[in-house]
Amino acid sequence: MSVTWRHLPASAREIAAAATDAVEAAKARDGAAYEAATARLGGAERSGLVLGAVVRLLLEETHPDGLDGDDVRQVLEHCVRAAAPWRPEVDPHVVLVLLASALGVYDPGEDDSPPDPAAIARHAPLLVADLLAVTGRPVEGYLGAAFTEIERTERHD
Protein backbone atom coordinates (compact mmCIF):
# COMPACT_ATOMS: atom_id res chain seq x y z
CA MET A 1 0.00 0.00 0.00
CA SER A 2 1.45 3.35 -1.01
CA VAL A 3 0.12 6.49 0.63
CA THR A 4 1.38 9.85 -0.61
CA TRP A 5 0.01 12.06 2.17
CA ARG A 6 -0.28 14.92 -0.39
CA HIS A 7 -3.05 16.57 1.58
CA LEU A 8 -0.70 17.21 4.51
CA PRO A 9 1.81 20.05 4.92
CA ALA A 10 5.41 19.11 4.05
CA SER A 11 6.51 18.66 7.68
CA ALA A 12 3.56 16.38 8.42
CA ARG A 13 4.19 14.41 5.21
CA GLU A 14 7.74 13.74 6.36
CA ILE A 15 6.54 12.53 9.76
CA ALA A 16 3.93 10.28 8.14
CA ALA A 17 6.41 8.81 5.67
CA ALA A 18 9.16 8.31 8.25
CA ALA A 19 6.74 6.81 10.80
CA THR A 20 5.35 4.43 8.19
CA ASP A 21 8.87 3.41 7.14
CA ALA A 22 9.96 2.93 10.77
CA VAL A 23 6.93 0.83 11.69
CA GLU A 24 7.31 -1.33 8.58
CA ALA A 25 11.03 -1.77 9.34
CA ALA A 26 10.14 -2.74 12.93
CA LYS A 27 7.66 -5.32 11.68
CA ALA A 28 10.32 -6.74 9.35
CA ARG A 29 13.07 -6.40 11.97
CA ASP A 30 15.18 -4.59 9.40
CA GLY A 31 17.81 -2.78 11.45
CA ALA A 32 19.27 -0.63 8.68
CA ALA A 33 15.89 0.58 7.45
CA TYR A 34 14.79 1.16 11.04
CA GLU A 35 17.86 3.29 11.83
CA ALA A 36 17.32 5.41 8.72
CA ALA A 37 13.61 5.93 9.38
CA THR A 38 14.01 6.70 13.08
CA ALA A 39 16.79 9.18 12.31
CA ARG A 40 14.32 11.01 10.04
CA LEU A 41 11.69 10.85 12.78
CA GLY A 42 14.09 12.18 15.39
CA GLY A 43 14.79 15.21 13.22
CA ALA A 44 11.14 15.93 12.50
CA GLU A 45 9.61 18.46 14.84
CA ARG A 46 6.40 17.20 16.48
CA SER A 47 6.92 13.57 15.51
CA GLY A 48 6.57 12.65 19.18
CA LEU A 49 3.14 14.29 19.30
CA VAL A 50 1.99 12.36 16.24
CA LEU A 51 3.40 9.03 17.42
CA GLY A 52 1.90 9.59 20.87
CA ALA A 53 -1.51 10.11 19.29
CA VAL A 54 -1.10 6.91 17.27
CA VAL A 55 -0.16 4.98 20.43
CA ARG A 56 -3.20 6.37 22.24
CA LEU A 57 -5.53 5.42 19.38
CA LEU A 58 -4.09 1.91 19.33
CA LEU A 59 -4.40 1.56 23.10
CA GLU A 60 -8.02 2.68 22.94
CA GLU A 61 -8.76 0.16 20.20
CA THR A 62 -6.93 -2.74 21.79
CA HIS A 63 -8.31 -2.02 25.27
CA PRO A 64 -11.84 -0.68 24.72
CA ASP A 65 -12.73 -1.08 28.40
CA GLY A 66 -9.72 0.96 29.49
CA LEU A 67 -6.33 0.01 30.85
CA ASP A 68 -5.35 -0.80 34.37
CA GLY A 69 -1.85 -1.16 35.77
CA ASP A 70 -1.63 -4.82 34.75
CA ASP A 71 -2.61 -3.96 31.18
CA VAL A 72 0.07 -1.28 30.97
CA ARG A 73 2.65 -3.70 32.38
CA GLN A 74 1.65 -6.36 29.83
CA VAL A 75 1.86 -3.93 26.90
CA LEU A 76 5.25 -2.71 28.15
CA GLU A 77 6.65 -6.20 28.69
CA HIS A 78 5.37 -7.53 25.38
CA CYS A 79 6.84 -4.64 23.43
CA VAL A 80 10.24 -4.79 25.11
CA ARG A 81 10.49 -8.58 24.86
CA ALA A 82 9.48 -8.53 21.20
CA ALA A 83 12.03 -5.81 20.37
CA ALA A 84 14.97 -6.96 22.50
CA PRO A 85 16.24 -9.75 20.21
CA TRP A 86 16.84 -7.34 17.33
CA ARG A 87 17.01 -4.02 19.24
CA PRO A 88 18.96 -4.94 22.40
CA GLU A 89 19.27 -1.26 23.36
CA VAL A 90 15.48 -0.97 23.83
CA ASP A 91 14.89 0.96 27.04
CA PRO A 92 11.81 -0.09 29.05
CA HIS A 93 11.75 3.30 30.75
CA VAL A 94 11.33 5.12 27.42
CA VAL A 95 8.53 2.73 26.41
CA LEU A 96 6.85 3.34 29.78
CA VAL A 97 7.11 7.12 29.26
CA LEU A 98 5.54 6.67 25.81
CA LEU A 99 2.66 4.69 27.31
CA ALA A 100 2.13 7.11 30.20
CA SER A 101 2.30 10.12 27.87
CA ALA A 102 -0.17 8.59 25.43
CA LEU A 103 -2.54 7.99 28.33
CA GLY A 104 -2.05 11.54 29.62
CA VAL A 105 -0.60 10.48 32.96
CA TYR A 106 3.12 11.16 32.51
CA ASP A 107 4.46 13.69 34.96
CA PRO A 108 8.25 13.74 35.19
CA GLY A 109 9.43 14.29 38.71
CA GLU A 110 12.24 16.59 39.75
CA ASP A 111 14.82 13.84 39.22
CA ASP A 112 13.33 12.49 36.00
CA SER A 113 13.86 14.25 32.72
CA PRO A 114 11.74 13.14 29.78
CA PRO A 115 13.46 11.15 27.03
CA ASP A 116 14.86 13.27 24.22
CA PRO A 117 13.16 13.34 20.80
CA ALA A 118 15.71 10.90 19.35
CA ALA A 119 14.91 8.32 22.07
CA ILE A 120 11.20 8.77 21.45
CA ALA A 121 11.77 8.32 17.72
CA ARG A 122 13.76 5.12 18.32
CA HIS A 123 11.16 3.58 20.64
CA ALA A 124 7.71 4.74 19.51
CA PRO A 125 7.72 2.74 16.25
CA LEU A 126 8.54 -0.40 18.26
CA LEU A 127 5.49 0.19 20.45
CA VAL A 128 3.29 1.06 17.46
CA ALA A 129 4.39 -2.05 15.56
CA ASP A 130 3.75 -4.23 18.60
CA LEU A 131 0.25 -2.80 19.08
CA LEU A 132 -0.50 -3.07 15.35
CA ALA A 133 0.18 -6.80 15.56
CA VAL A 134 -2.92 -7.02 17.75
CA THR A 135 -5.15 -5.03 15.39
CA GLY A 136 -3.85 -6.51 12.15
CA ARG A 137 -4.37 -3.15 10.44
CA PRO A 138 -1.85 -0.91 8.67
CA VAL A 139 -0.38 2.11 10.41
CA GLU A 140 -1.56 4.58 7.76
CA GLY A 141 -5.12 4.70 9.05
CA TYR A 142 -3.94 5.47 12.57
CA LEU A 143 -1.58 8.14 11.30
CA GLY A 144 -4.41 9.76 9.36
CA ALA A 145 -6.64 9.70 12.43
CA ALA A 146 -3.82 11.14 14.56
CA PHE A 147 -3.27 14.06 12.18
CA THR A 148 -7.02 14.74 12.09
CA GLU A 149 -7.22 14.70 15.88
CA ILE A 150 -4.20 16.98 16.29
CA GLU A 151 -5.59 19.43 13.74
CA ARG A 152 -8.98 19.47 15.46
CA THR A 153 -7.39 20.03 18.86
CA GLU A 154 -5.22 22.88 17.58
CA ARG A 155 -8.18 24.58 15.93
CA HIS A 156 -10.12 24.51 19.21
CA ASP A 157 -7.24 25.85 21.31
Query: 129 in a domain, yes or no?
Result: yes
Average pLDDT score, the chain: 92
Give yes or no for residue 111 having a pLDDT over 80.
no
Please calculate the CA angle 66-67-73 and round it to the nearest 5 degrees: 165
Give yes or no for residue 109 having a pLDDT over 80.
no
Query: 2 in a domain, yes or no?
Result: no
Q: What's the structural domain count of the chain?
A: 1
DSSP 19-40: HHHHHHHHHHT-HHHHHHHHHH
Query: 1 in a domain, yes or no?
Result: no
Query: 138 in a domain, yes or no?
Result: yes
Query: pLDDT tens, 67-103?
Result: 999 999 999 999 999 999 999 999 999 999 999 999 9
Domain that holds residue 136: 10-156
Indicate the pTM of the whole model: 0.93
Query: 27 in a domain, yes or no?
Result: yes
Query: 99 in a domain, yes or no?
Result: yes
* pLDDT confidence tier of residue 1, bands split at 50, 70 and 90: very low
Please state, as a whole number, how many other Cβ atoms lie within 10 Å of the Cβ of residue 33. Answer: 15
Query: 4 in a domain, yes or no?
Result: no
Query: 5 in a domain, yes or no?
Result: no
Please, which residues have CB within 8 angstroms of residue 21's CB and are 6 or more apart in sequence? 33, 36, 37, 40
Query: pLDDT tens, 8-33?
Result: 888 899 999 999 999 999 999 999 99
pLDDT of residue 128: 98
* pLDDT confidence tier of residue 2, bands split at 50, 70 and 90: low
